[in-house]
Structure 1
Amino acid sequence: MGAAGGAMAYALNCSVPEVAATSLHNYVVGCDDPKAVKKEDIEQIAKKYGVSKQDAAFNEELCDIYCRFVSSVLPPGKEDLEGSEIETITNFKNSLGIDDPDAAAMHMEIGRQIFRQRLETGDRDGDVEQRRAFQKLIYVSNLVFGEASSFLLPWKRVFKVTDSQVEIAIRDNAQRLYALKLRAVGRGTCY
């Protein structure tokens, strides 16, 4: 009887991180507005189940939630950035309490998804759209992580892009965003 009880306790302890991850998922899904997600609530969920962000299942759920959120905030290839994406993503990242290396890995995963879509489309229009989506991801990611982006986001190594391609992505998106802001104040653009 003692061995069976010990095995049962071990099995329950092994499933605690998964239960905590499910509770985390349900909490975030239950929030109608991503701005309603609070770091304290996430810490409370972890504390309730006796887990931490180092538990694989819990951390994996945090990363998955963050990845889906970032993907939903970035506009599709044909649409321009609105200007609020960086602040929205940064605030959500801080609310989740996700570490920068884990968050950066999710940005790289989104890049892989875009890169895969680009390879699968095969037509010029789809290729251009995916390239613009990838450039927006580079621009937003570099601003979300600031100075740390140079070592957290290995665009060049993973995607075989050059320094100049990264700079062009940043420049083009910054110009589009600047032109959008000028139009918003009624000045027009010369681009």
Structure 2
Amino acid sequence: MGRFDSLTGKRPGSQKDISPTNKTDPSVKRIIELHESIIGGIRNVLQNAMTLGEELSKIKESLGHGNWLPWLEENVPFSERSARNYINIYKNRDLLNRQPVADLKSAIKFLSDSPHDEKEINPKEIQDPKLLYKKFKSGDRLSSKDRNILKEFLGNEKQRVLEAAKKKVSEIDEDISALKF
């Protein structure tokens, strides 16, 4: 199927395996062709949304903090919200591949209605404070749970840096004292 396999693909019970009784009937053939075209179109729309989200994610990451919104305003014909939706679809592609989403609007609604922890494919990875900090710096939204984890991490990191700086200052002071005549 391509890069984002199984999206809206056949799931148990979702499609009947039938052989039309009247294979030569033009109406039956046309109905089947139209149905297959619709399924293919849905698959293409969602795959294109994922690919677009992937491209936007790469650009957002490469631009650095504070440059994303100006870039969007200058370069794309859609809103920041649409860009966020595309990125969210890309980031949650594995989850969407396991859900019975029928169209782009359903995918966006599913992702926005789900609690944050249910959307994440690997919650342990996301709770890694360094990854959370990277998400935060790239402008991604964090859940309140993730914000609390990040606040605690940053507080501890600040304390660690302050202690290391104090130690270094003390070493420099000792070196200066040793240089006095």
TM-score, shorter chain, exceeding 0.5: no
Give the TM-score taking structure 2 as reference length. 0.37
Give the TM-score taking structure 1 as reference length. 0.35
Greater helix proportion = 1
